[in-house]
Amino acid sequence: MSIEQPRGSHDLQQSESGEVEHPERFENPGLPPHRPRLGDEDPKANKRSEHQVVVLFVISIIATIAAIWGFFAFPVDGLQVGNVRMSTLVIGLGLGLGMLGIGVGAVHWAKTLMNDHEKVEERHPQRGDDATRAEAVDIMREGVEDSAIARRPLIKGALGTAVAIAPLSFLVPLIGNLGGDWDISKFRHTAWASAPGGGRRYLATDPTDRRIKASEVTRGSMVHVQPWRLEEEENFLEEKTKAVVILMRLDPKLLKEPEEKKDWSYDGIVAYSKVCTHVGCPVALYEQQTHHVLCPCHQSTFDITDQAKVIFGPAKRPLPQLPITVDEEGYLYAQSDFHEPVGPSFWERER
């Protein structure tokens, strides 16, 4: 790989031919000669550059004036969308060209008119020389001796402990309050358990909040569902986050239902949590031919015919099923809450 000449034989050749011995490495040739710019030798080009710089700065001035004109010319308090567009465009173009004029002008000035001879500055190593280092050590040693900390370990220990724990009286109240009531058992319950007052919790369309009759649910369709009249309750968004459900009607023969969940569906209508068991996005895409639902965030795919089992993607657990049934008038309602926590996994989930 490396093409190395055996040094000895090479030297021999040289001495035979009487040439000077070659150094091991090349010498740095030093700065290359300065190449003059057009404007350095041609006064006309020089003058031209000067004019260009002035023109650029003038463009900036004009653009800024245009931006201010745009501010007054296009009021946006009415209902004209066109004015919003024009206001944005004119103020933006004015601001942009105003800035560009200054910037391009300054850089053009520096590149064409300012002295372009490279200059050299020496560097100094970061490390202090030995004398300075020794002096620094002495200074620190002297300071430590002056403080007498070495001979008084008790002070050291007490101070260290005090400083280390002092932030706690700030951090404990801060962190302690961050989580509100810290009642993580809320992850386990949803609004489906019962309506306020203990009544049946009906399934309703999301977001129009109409109760759903079983007969309205046609095969091949998917209905987005929320608990009926949830909007009027406290913590609406938090409850809705957990309680959203998707409702589908399939040919009952297609459904693979274990014995204990036989009565969780109604005449081929099944309800599953809409919250993805991966990281909690709404599982909103339904493929009616294959009966798969797909989470648009990370593409976890669930098979509705088979207990919403995961067939692709990063989710691990099936979507929890909501046991449903119908009342006397044919409206769908939840038999009970979900039988497991909905949404993403968490540490205490199985407890």
Partner 1 sequence: MTAATNAPAEKADPRLAAAADFLDTRVGISKIVKEFARKIFPDHWSFLLGEIALYSFIVLLISGTFLTMFFVPSMAETHYPTDALPVTMQGVQMSEAYASTIHMSFHVRGGLLMRQIHHWAALLFVGAMVVHMLRIFFTGAFRRPRELNWLVGFTLLIMGLLAGFSGYSLPDDVLSGNGLRIADGVALAIPIIGSYVSFALFGGEFPGDDIIPRLFTVHILLVPGLILALIAVHLFLIVWHKHTQYPGPGRTQKNVVGFPLFPIYTAKAGGFFFIVFGVIALMGATMSINSVWNYGPYDPSVVSAGAQPDWYMLFLEGSLRLMPGLEVVIGGFTLSLAILIPGVILPGLLFTFLGLYPFIERAVTKDTGEHHLLDRPRNAATRTALGAGFLAVWFVLIGAGANDLIATHFNVSLNLITWIFRILFFVLPVVTFLVTKRICFGLQRKDRELALHGHETGRIVRFASGEFIEVHQPLDEYERWLLVSHDSPAPLQIDPPEDANGVARPGYKKERRWQKLSQFFYEDRIEPVTPAELAAAQSHGEHDELPATEAHEEITSEDSAGQIEARTH
Residues 213-272 that bind partner 1 (CB under 8 A): 224, 226, 235, 237-238, 240-242, 244
* Closer to partner 1 by Cβ: residue 29 or 199: 29
303 sits near partner 1 (criterion: CB under 8 A): no
Q: How far is the CB of 170 from partner 1 (least distance, A)?
A: 15
Location of structure tokens 């090349």: 26
Nearest approach in angstroms of CB 218 to partner 1 is: 21
Examine residue 286 and tell whether it contacts partner 1 (CB under 8 A): no
Indicate whether 92 belongs to the interface with partner 1 (CB under 8 A): yes
Indicate the residue among 10 and 152 with the shorter CB distance to partner 1. Answer: 10
- Per-residue b or e along 313-330, where b marks 16 or more CB atoms closer than 10 Å to that residue's CB: bebebbbbbbbbebeeee
89 binds partner 1 (CB under 8 A): yes
Residue 180 found at the interface with partner 1 (CB under 8 A): yes
Q: Are 150 and 144 in contact (CB under 8 A)?
A: yes
The H or E element that residue 205 is part of is: strand 201-205
Per rule CB under 8 A, is residue 16 in the interface with partner 1?
A: no
In terms of CB distance, is 166 or 175 closer to partner 1?
175
The full DSSP string for 35-52 is PPPHHHH-HHHHHHHHHH
Q: Which of 37, 48, 64, 95 binds partner 1 (CB under 8 A)?
A: 95
Select from 86, 94, 93 the least CA-distant residue to 63.
94
**For partner 1, which residue of 146, 181, 259, 260 counts as binding (CB under 8 A)?**
181
**Given 66, 97, 212, 322, the residue binding partner 1 (CB under 8 A):** 97
Count of alpha carbons within 13 Å of 305, Cβ hemisphere only?
15
The answer to the question of residue 69 lying near partner 1 (CB under 8 A) is: no
Q: Closest distance between partner 1 and the C-beta of residue 262, in Å? A: 27
Q: Tokens 């200054």 appear where?
A: 102
Q: Does 317 bind partner 1 (CB under 8 A)?
A: yes
Helix (H, G, I), strand (E, B) or coil at 133: helix
Q: Which is nearer to partner 1, 75 or 143 (CB)?
A: 75
Distance spanning both ends of the chain, measured CA to CA:
63
CA distance 264 to 132: 83
Between CA 347 and CA 329 the distance in angstroms is 42
| DSSP single-letter state for residue 193 | G
Rounded CA-CA distance 203/91 in Å is 51
With contact defined as beta carbons under 8 Å apart, do 239 and 217 qualify?
A: no
Note whether 179 binds partner 1 by CB under 8 A.
yes
Stretch that binds partner 1, among 104-112, 146-154, 212-220, 259-267 (CB under 8 A): 104-112
Q: Which of 50, 116, 257, 306 binds partner 1 (CB under 8 A)?
A: 116
